[in-house]
Amino acid sequence: MNRIAKLLGVMALAVPLGAMTGLATAAEQAAAKADPAKGETLYTQGVPDRNVPACFSCHGTAGNSSAAVNPKLAGQMADYTHKQLVDFKAKSRDNPIMSLYASALTDQDMRDIGAYLAKQQLKPATAKNKETIEQGQKIYRGGIAAKGIPACAGCHGPTGAGIPAQYPRIGGQYSEYTEAQLVGFRQGTRKNNSVMSTIAARMSDAEIKAVADYVAGVR
Ligand code: HEC
Ligand code: HEC
């Protein structure tokens, strides 16, 4: 591994741009190989010598958090989980807890954790508010044309399972967390996706609450 990496480094200096692009792709593919077994160890034990606590202490056994403040991670797409950890580290998604932990993880750690979580079975949350469920469903399936809000289902899928690898799963997530993310996108504390920022900026508190509750129950 090391020798190949060094070799690639040396070659990259010597070869013209076209060939370099080819090499970068090969290097990216090598890095993209993720090991779910290593991911499980990281998830269940953390990295004690880098002060990273076990993820399961907040996110629950196999990614099924039992506290609404901590999102469920089970069954999420590996690429999305990887991207969030990268973004926490870079603080384009700034969260005091997660940005601290992510800053102590390597890119490979992040890929391994993503691969592990993608294989876990989600135990979904449920919707709680009968009064807003219809409004939430309408927004989810059809958007709000008058405000230029597109249907969530168009990207996150009719059952909330997402569309690999660009659009994350959101179905079955705690409504409190989904609401907090939409508010974060709207006020700019979460600025790692411009589409979601634009959408959330057009939504009222009541619309956010209604769709977040619907999303918790969508299957
Ligand atoms: C002390 C509790 C705590 C620990 C320990 C913890 N997290 Fe988190 N994590 C959170 C909270 C709270 C959030 C929500 C942050 C926000 O609102 O943006 C979160 C968010 C996340 C997200 C984003 C989920 C999404 O749907 O976008 C990922 C991925 C994540 N954590 C992975 C990890 C991993 C991997 C570890 C272990 C290395 C870990 N977390 C350890 C509390 C924790
Ligand atoms: C054009 C595509 C698109 C549409 C339409 C869309 N989303 Fe998203 N959404 C995304 C993408 C891409 C992400 C991932 C952002 C990132 O990389 O951090 C995302 C992320 C999210 C997240 C964060 C998930 C998490 O685990 O933290 C929530 C919540 C969300 N969207 C809710 C909604 C809702 C509700 C609607 C409808 C009002 C909607 N989205 C419409 C593309 C879309």
pLDDT in tens, 116-160: 999 999 999 999 999 999 999 999 999 999 999 999 999 999 999
Q: For all residues of the chain together, what is the average pLDDT?
A: 90
Q: Which conformational region is residue 62 in: left (phi greater than 0), alpha (psi within -120 to 50 degrees), or beta?
A: left
Annotated binding-site residues for heme c read 55, 58-59, 98, 152, 155-156, 196
In this structure, the residue with its CA closest to atom 12 of ligand 2 is 167
pLDDT in tens, 58-112: 999 999 999 999 999 999 999 999 999 999 999 999 999 999 999 999 999 999 9
Cα separation of 49 and 12, whole Å?
34
Retrieve residue 182's tokens: 């939409």
Model confidence at 1, pLDDT cuts 50, 70, 90, reads very low
pLDDT at residue number 18: 39
pLDDT at residue number 20: 45
Model confidence at 10, pLDDT cuts 50, 70, 90, reads very low
101 lines ligand 1 (CB under 6 A): yes
